[in-house]
Amino acid sequence: MRLIDADPLILKIKDYIEEYNDTDENGYHNLKWCAMKESEMVINNAPTIEAEPIRHGRWEKHPYEREWDVCSCCKQGTKRREFGVNDKGKEWVTEYSYTYCPWCGARMEEHYEID
């Protein structure tokens, strides 16, 4: 889903409706005019939603867990780094880099310096 401002779109469609307003000898409008009128109706009847403003946050150090970060908005912890050893004895590291908090959806604008 994407949020759009429908008002400028409606104004553009109304310009097209005016441009294609010719009728034939029987008084019928052409297909372009009909399509633009239909488009205007569809947009005007489309459901609307209440958009929430974007929350801005930053990752903070977790007070107890070295490999975890905490969202400044919701204070939920998220793992930053994970270590392990595979079945062949080789060590591995997975780094996570979230641009949004997976708990509250806040956009992360900055990050503290990682040790």
**Same domain (yes/no): 63, 99:** yes
pLDDT tens per residue across span 94-103: 777 788 899 9
Asked if the structure places residue 20 within a domain, the reply is yes
> Residue 16 contacts by C-beta under 8 Å, 6 or more apart in sequence?
32, 36
Say if residue 114's pLDDT is above 60.
no
Sheet with 68-71: list strands edge to edge.
77-79, 68-71, 56-61, 107-111
**Same domain (yes/no): 64, 97:** yes
Number of domains in the chain: 2
pLDDT bucket at 115, cuts 50 / 70 / 90: low
Asked if the structure places residue 50 within a domain, the reply is no
**Same domain (yes/no): 64, 104:** yes
Q: What is the pLDDT of residue 95?
A: 77
Return the bridge partners of 108, or none.
Answer: 57
Q: What is the pLDDT of residue 36?
A: 93
> Residue 6 contacts by C-beta under 8 Å, 6 or more apart in sequence?
43, 46
Q: What is the pLDDT of residue 57?
A: 92
pLDDT tens per residue across span 3-48: 888 999 999 999 999 999 888 888 898 999 999 999 999 999 998 8
Residue 13 belongs to what domain range? Answer: 6-45
Average pLDDT over residues 60-87: 87
Average pLDDT, the chain: 86
Joined together, the tokens standing for residue 10 give: 């409606």
Asked if the structure places residue 36 within a domain, the reply is yes
Q: What is the pLDDT of residue 44?
A: 93
Asked if the structure places residue 51 within a domain, the reply is no
**Same domain (yes/no): 72, 36:** no
Asked if the structure places residue 1 within a domain, the reply is no
**Same domain (yes/no): 60, 106:** yes
